[in-house]
Amino acid sequence: MPSPALAALSALPQADLKSIFTTDPDRLSKLVLTQGPIRFDWSKTHLTDDLMAGFLALADEQGFARRRDALFAGEAVNNTEGRAAEHPAERGEGNPDSVAHAKMLHNRMRGLIDAIEAGALGEIRHILHIGIGGSALGPDLIVDALDGDGVRYDVAIVSNVDGTALERAIEGFDPHATLIAIASKTFTTSETMLNAASAINWMVEGGVDDPYGRVVALTAAPDRAMEWGVDETRILPFAESVGGRYSLWSSIGFPAALALGWDAFESLLEGAAEMDRHFRLSDPAQNIPLIAAFADQYYARVLGCQTRAVFAYDERLALLPSYLQQLEMESNGKAVKLDGSPVDGPTAPITWGGVGTDAQHAVFQLLHQGTIITPVEFIASIEPGHALDPAHHRALLVNCFAQGAALMRGKDNAADPARAYPGNRPSTTILMDDVTPHALGALIAFYEHRTFANAVLMGINPFDQFGVELGKEIAKSIETDGAVGFDPSTMALIEIALGAE
């Protein structure tokens, strides 16, 4: 049964963006909100006063305030696994006991970083971080965004089990000056364990006497890390209640904290904490992650848009779309509601994207003239990330703003329809003052809370991910039993490529 509030929303007429600033001249004051160093602009979306009122009613109907309080109180909001979701505690926000525990673990991480910097593990010039999914995407995004010229260490983040990834990562690394960070919440993920074993072999082959002596484990399963061979003093634990895709704030962020320095890592946490406080304390009508979720819900569930595109008009944020793919799709690509009943409509759309201006010359044709409507999100920074001619940054921003205007405005051409642009296509623009640790922390926390707000509006649990298990089980059974008991297509593939057992 669709929710009454959503049904009422769906009955509202759709605004025309081409004339929306004429019919609603105050849009900027209503739909542009600034939080710290980031300005969020929904004025080029179809959100109207009526829709906002309808979505506020939906939020109320779905118990938004109660579920938000439960999240921050450290209640078991991940109901299918009976666990809390305590990533805000890593930033100092939430249940006081969890905050104190996270602080203690951060101090432990800081102590190890200080020791490494003081030379306790010998000379370290390279950091080889091995992890996958949430144990790689977050650190990769932060290091790539903020490390600029990588002055402190060369950092390589390896996730794929394809040996080519590891081989390429260690190509320029000296095994005698490399620190291996094994990042795995469970310390069982097969790709990570295989890559970790191969990295140790590489060190041994490179003549390192005690390769385990330069391994650091980042995990919520310290006992398994110890069994694997990591010394207890180099295990940096984090709480089981921190989900993998929400874990960059914990010891999973170790390569960022080491490479960028502790002050930068703290500033990232503080930026996120400011967004936490905004999300926790703001009235729903002014709540930035919630308003973002209103627009998301309108496009995905009311208009049936199956995808959402994110374009970073800043090379520093080139990895943001990949990071968001896991955050949004693994969290909200679900088929059942909190009570186990089937969902009553689409859940998360497919998140995809890239960087501007590259994407303009590759995929924007479809966005402007294709028949599939895709809500677009632009992310840009007022300050550039480089010291070259300011003309570069000016051109980047000009292009970003032009795309949003073109999508909205369109262009008639009755005489030559192939050259006409329908317009009325929505976009959101997120404009950062600069890509600093503080602003990036706030931006990522915004996305986390927006994902949670979407889940609340749909009545689903964003914190489990059982959808990834079946493929893992089948891979394991192929590893152990080979081509047995599968369909003819799968058996033939196994036999041809892996050989008959």
In the bound state with ligand F6P, the residue whose beta carbon lies nearer, of 66 and 472, is 472
Q: Give the active site residue among 123, 361, 469, 473.
A: 361
Least Å distance, CB 185 to ligand F6P, is 4
Q: Is 305 helix (H, G, I), strand (E, B) or coil?
A: coil
Length of the chain (residues) = 501
CA distances (Å), origin 115, targets 108, 154, 171, 263, 424: 11, 18, 27, 16, 57
β-strands 32-35, 350-355: how paired? Answer: unpaired
Q: Give the active site residue among 103, 472, 476, 495.
A: 472
Binding mask 92-121 for ligand F6P (x = CB under 6 A): ------------------------------
Least Å distance, CB 182 to ligand F6P, is 9
Residue recorded with tokens 């690509």 = 333
103 in active site: no
In one-letter notation, the amino acid at residue 415 is A
Residue recorded with tokens 């061979």 = 229
Q: Give the active site residue among 330, 334, 377, 448.
A: 330
Query: How would you label 392-421 residue by residue, b for 16+ Cβ within 10 Å and e otherwise?
Result: ebeebbeebeebbebbbebeeeeeeeeeee
Q: Applying CB under 6 A, does 189 fall inside the site for ligand F6P?
A: yes
Binding mask 294-333 for ligand F6P (x = CB under 6 A): ------------------------------------x---
Among the listed ranges 179-187, 207-215, 387-395, 449-457, the one in contact with ligand F6P (CB under 6 A) is 179-187
Judged by CB under 6 A, the residue of 134, 237, 271, 437 near ligand F6P is 134
d(CA 405, CA 427): 9
Among the listed ranges 74-82, 133-141, 194-202, 448-456, the one in contact with ligand F6P (CB under 6 A) is 133-141
In the bound state with ligand F6P, the residue whose beta carbon lies nearer, of 332 and 465, is 465
| Residue of 345, 363, 368, 349 lying closest to 306 (CA atoms) | 349
Q: Applying CB under 6 A, does 465 fall inside the site for ligand F6P?
A: yes
In the bound state with ligand F6P, the residue whose beta carbon lies nearer, of 469 and 487, is 469
Least Å distance, CB 136 to ligand F6P, is 8
Instruction: Evaluate the omega torsion of the peptide bond into residue 357 and state whether it is cis, within 30 degrees of 0.
Output: yes
Per the CB < 8 A criterion, the answer to whether 302 and 346 are in contact is no
Least Å distance, CB 158 to ligand F6P, is 13
Q: Applying CB under 6 A, does 462 fall inside the site for ligand F6P?
A: no
Q: Applying CB under 6 A, does 375 fall inside the site for ligand F6P?
A: no
User: Half-sphere exposure (CA, 13 Å, Cβ side) for 302?
Assistant: 25
d(CA 122, CA 119): 5
Q: Applying CB under 6 A, does 461 fall inside the site for ligand F6P?
A: no
Judged by CB under 6 A, the residue of 244, 255, 349, 353 near ligand F6P is 244
The angle, 0 to 180 degrees and rounded to 10, between the axes of the packed helices 190-205 and 163-170 is 40
Q: Applying CB under 6 A, does 192 fall inside the site for ligand F6P?
A: yes
Q: Applying CB under 6 A, does 133 fall inside the site for ligand F6P?
A: yes
Least Å distance, CB 199 to ligand F6P, is 15
167 in active site: no
Output the six-digit token pair for 267.
Answer: 């500033």
Q: List 116's β-bridge partners, or say none.
A: none
In one-letter notation, the amino acid at residue 382 is I
In sequence order, the 6+-apart residues with CB closer than 8 A to the CB of 154 are 125, 126, 127, 172, 173
330 in active site: yes
Binding site for ligand F6P (CB under 6 A): 132-135, 184-186, 189, 192, 244-245, 330, 465, 468
Catalogue the active-site residues. 330, 361, 472
